[in-house]
Copies of this chain bind each other. A is one copy, B any other.
Amino acid sequence: MAQEENLADCLLVGDKSLILSLLGKLDPNHHYSFEIVDVGSDLVKAAEMSVQLVNEGKGDIILKGKTDSGLLLHCVLDKEKGLRISPVISDVLAYEHPEGVKLLSDGGVNIAPNIEEKIAIVKNAVEVAHCMGSSQPKVALLAAVETVNPKMQSTIDAAIISQMNKRNQITGCIVEGPLAFDNAVSLEAAKIKGIESPVAGNADVFIVPNIEAGNIFGKLLTYYCGYRVAHVIVGTKAPILIPSRADPGELKMLCMAMALTCMQE
């Protein structure tokens, strides 16, 4: 699909004989050309080689195949040979909402980020928004409520990060939080709660406080809303794509397109 769309050339890293047998199942009437990088059947070697190809300038994006995300990310995060360039790597999901493309982070990598990790997650997502053409994205820091509650860490962290934005410690965006989801997407709901902010009711970027909230949010978009989604791991020398094996081919294509956009800055 990527070749047909002239989107990317592909290096296939793995067990050459297995790859050739899979390629044999493709439409024989279409001419495909793939470079195969044979590393045998060891998935660790495949991950290491993929990272190495990026470091050698031979690869621009890594797309996970039938391997474990944890295994791939372990190689990506290797301190000596890895690809991390930001304090934190994070997953940024883009979805086609009827009002425009929105971003969501992080439902894929950081399990229960602390305040410093959340700041990095915001910065990574804002960079992606810039690449996608939004010069001053409106970032909502989501919690279950819009009031600061000392018993809810998500509301405390959101208040801190919002204030850091007002002090220009986080730039290129307007950050507001804590916001409940309704206050972030509905002007009416924000108004009833007395929230005055350009972000309220108009958020472009949604930052969730934990991986479960983000993962459920992202999967509802696909399975309940029917929106098209794509997601990319950023904070690395090259975008890393870890779609689920259960995701359709089209989603993997959209991830590739999003990754190409992220590389433009």
Instruction: Report the Cα distance A181→B193, complex, angstroms.
Output: 30
Who on chain B is nearest to A223 by CB? B185
A74-120 residues with Cβ-Cβ distance < 8 A to B are: 97, 107-108, 111
For A152, the chain B residues whose CB sits under 8 A away are 111, 211
A143-163 residues with Cβ-Cβ distance < 8 A to B are: 143-145, 151-152, 154
For A3, the chain B residues whose CB sits under 8 A away are none
- Partner of A151 from the list B111, B154, B216 (CB cut-off 8 Å) is B111
Whether the Cβ atoms of A212 and B154 lie closer than 8 Å is yes
Instruction: Report the Cα distance A144→B225, complex, angstroms.
Output: 19
Q: How many residues of A contact B (CB 8 A)?
A: 41
Name which of A143, A152, A193, A216 has the most chain B CB atoms within 10 A of its CB: A216
For A222, the chain B residues whose CB sits under 8 A away are 182
- Partner of A144 from the list B192, B212, B224 (CB cut-off 8 Å) is B212
Whether the Cβ atoms of A144 and B180 lie closer than 8 Å is no
For A211, the chain B residues whose CB sits under 8 A away are 144, 152
* Cβ-based interface call for A220 (8 A): yes
Instruction: Report the Cα distance A57→B85, complex, angstroms.
Output: 64
Whether the Cβ atoms of A219 and B107 lie closer than 8 Å is no
Q: In the complex, how many angstroms separate the beta carbon of A81 from the nearest chain B beta carbon?
A: 23
* Cβ-based interface call for A53 (8 A): no
* Cβ-based interface call for A186 (8 A): yes
Who on chain B is nearest to A142 by CB? B216
Chain A to chain B contacts (Cβ below 8 Å), 13 pairs: A108-B144, A111-B151, A142-B216, A144-B214, A145-B215, A180-B219, A185-B223, A186-B223, A189-B244, A189-B246, A192-B245, A209-B212, A210-B212
Binding site for B on A (CB under 8 A): 97, 107-108, 111, 142-145, 151-152, 154, 180-183, 185-186, 188-189, 192-193, 208-217, 219-225, 244-246
Nearest 6 CB-CB pairings of A with B: A144-B215, A181-B219, A189-B246, A192-B246, A213-B213, A212-B213
List 13 additional A-B contacts (Cβ < 8 Å) besides A181-B223, A182-B222, A193-B246. Answer: A111-B151, A142-B212, A143-B215, A144-B211, A144-B212, A181-B215, A182-B219, A182-B244, A182-B246, A185-B223, A208-B212, A208-B216, A220-B224
